[in-house]
Structure 1
Amino acid sequence: MTDTANTKQLILDMTRQIIQEDGLQAISMRELGKRLALSRGAVYVYFKNKEDLLAYVTTENFYALKDQLENNISHATNSREIAFQILNTFYTFGIENQEYYQLMFLNQWDSTQHEDLHAAAKTVFGVFFKNFKKLDGLQGKIQKSPELLSSMASSMILGLVELNTSGHLEAEKGLNDPLKVIYSFIDLIFV
């Protein structure tokens, strides 16, 4: 690895460490330079600004989520398991990576400035679509088009993660068991 690539990777690794330890609000070019013994200006050699840095990290996270989805789905043996892996993997990723989830799904990224990020995000939706399309040919018929089902599933999981994150998974709302909600949604998918 060249010094340039090595330094860039060190900046990315330190960014992730700061996010994990102190949250998104602690990220600054100055803090990164300080922790890595680089001048603040040196960090700007690799990333235009904080937004550019976080967009890069977010792009990596979309690809990591896509890889997790594909890996977990590849072990499924029937249509209900495929649907479960799509929903549960997406949900678990959101719960286990809340700071990154916020960047990925709650931050508005300009598609003209962050084309790579938007392309990476589309790969996640593509995994949803491809596998929901595959379900229609397996046991049981799905009631909605793969496009609509992909949108509905991602919206449901995004909402479920948000409810969990904000502490609103109360029993009186029927939300105290996220897996039960996921299985109930799967029941709605099939005729």
Structure 2
Amino acid sequence: MARVSQEHLDARRRQILDGATRCFSRNGFHATSMQDVLREVDLSAGAVYRYFSGKEELIAAIVTEVLDTVREAFEDAARQSPPEPPDVLIGQVMERVLGEAFVRGVPGSSQFPRMMVQVWTETLRNESLSVLIRDGFERVRGAWVEVVEAYQAAGLMRADIPAEHVARTMIATVQGFAAQQALFGEVPVDVVQNGLRGLMSMGEQKAG
């Protein structure tokens, strides 16, 4: 029997994840069954269960990818000296995360934030997913703290405010924008960027 290449295995796993993401984005976690996923990806049960034991493992894999995308975006930013200002940086992260949705075939960027909100809700009843989210949040928070510390080291931000406090506020901005996208429909990323620029201009106006 011919051996299946790792490239083929990776592509099949990607196919399953992409199909599950589309299903969850359309109908939510609870209204989506594994049969729905099987029909979406046009594979047998045996082919899918070779990679994932069930719906919750699929959800966990998707959540991990989302968190890793955000973390990697801010780790990349932290390597800049200094990083881009917060309005630019947050816009870049949002575009990168929403861009992942388009690359993976999620129908419409507004659908991806809907799935994120569903994940947050699911963590209230699913302890294993809650642990995963907390672990992912800590890794994301660490990357954002590095960004804030880079701002402070470059003299671009007050150093007397704990970097973690600023990092949590930046995270909340992204989460809040995603929630608005999910609840009220698609909004251009430059809306939140302009809002941040307005807030950041208060000191400039006073100084002028």
User: Normalising by structure 1, what TM-score?
Assistant: 0.69
Distance in structure 1 (CA, Å) of the matches to 2:198 and 2:172: 15
In structure 1, what is the equivalent of residue 17 of structure 2? 12
In structure 2, what is the equivalent of residue 51 of structure 1? 56
Task: Out of 136-145 and 103-112, give the one that drifted further.
Answer: 103-112
In structure 2, what is the equivalent of residue 108 of structure 1? 123
Q: Following TM superposition, by how much is the alpha carbon of 1:146 offset from its aligned partner in structure 2, in angstroms?
A: 0.7
Query: Secondary structure at the residue paired with 2:143?
Result: helix
In structure 1, what is the equivalent of residue 168 of structure 2? 151
Q: Following TM superposition, by how much is the alpha carbon of 1:87 offset from its aligned partner in structure 2, in angstroms?
A: 2.2
Distance in structure 1 (CA, Å) of the matches to 2:17 and 2:191: 35
In structure 1, what is the equivalent of residue 44 of structure 2? 38
Distance in structure 2 (CA, Å) of the matches to 1:140 and 1:37: 53
Distance in structure 1 (CA, Å) of the matches to 2:127 and 2:64: 12
Distance in structure 2 (CA, Å) of the matches to 1:165 and 1:99: 4
Q: Following TM superposition, by how much is the alpha carbon of 1:53 offset from its aligned partner in structure 2, in angstroms?
A: 0.8
Match for residue 178 of structure 1 among 192, 200, 204: 192
Distance in structure 1 (CA, Å) of the matches to 2:36 and 2:65: 21
| Structure 2: 5+ residue stretches without partners | 99-108
Q: Following TM superposition, by how much is the alpha carbon of 1:126 offset from its aligned partner in structure 2, in angstroms?
A: 1.7
**Is 1:138 matched up with 2:141?**
no
Distance in structure 2 (CA, Å) of the matches to 1:77 and 1:128: 14
Q: Following TM superposition, by how much is the alpha carbon of 1:98 offset from its aligned partner in structure 2, in angstroms?
A: 1.6
Q: Following TM superposition, by how much is the alpha carbon of 1:7 offset from its aligned partner in structure 2, in angstroms?
A: 4.2
Distance in structure 2 (CA, Å) of the matches to 1:165 and 1:49: 26
Distance in structure 2 (CA, Å) of the matches to 1:62 and 1:117: 8
Match for residue 24 of structure 1 among 21, 24, 28: 28
| Structure 1: 5+ residue stretches without partners | 170-175
Q: Following TM superposition, by how much is the alpha carbon of 1:9 offset from its aligned partner in structure 2, in angstroms?
A: 3.4
Q: Deviations over 1:136-187 (max 9, x none)?
A: 1113332521111111221233223323443399xxxxxx942221223445
Structure with more relative contact order (C-alpha pairs < 8 Å, separation 6 or more): 2
**Is 1:89 matched up with 2:92?**
yes
In structure 2, what is the equivalent of residue 172 of structure 1? none
The one-letter code sitting in structure 2 at the alignment partner of 1:37 is: L
Distance in structure 2 (CA, Å) of the matches to 1:113 and 1:16: 16
Query: Secondary structure at the residue paired with 1:48?
Result: coil
- Percent identical residues: 13
Distance in structure 1 (CA, Å) of the matches to 2:195 and 2:131: 34
Q: Deviations over 1:40-60 (max 9, x none)?
A: x65344323212211111101
Q: Following TM superposition, by how much is the alpha carbon of 1:132 offset from its aligned partner in structure 2, in angstroms?
A: 0.4
| Change beyond 3 A, Cα 1:75–1:188 | farther
Q: Following TM superposition, by how much is the alpha carbon of 1:63 offset from its aligned partner in structure 2, in angstroms?
A: 1.0
Task: Out of 30-39 and 2-11, give the one that drifted further.
Answer: 2-11
In structure 2, what is the equivalent of residue 98 of structure 1? 113
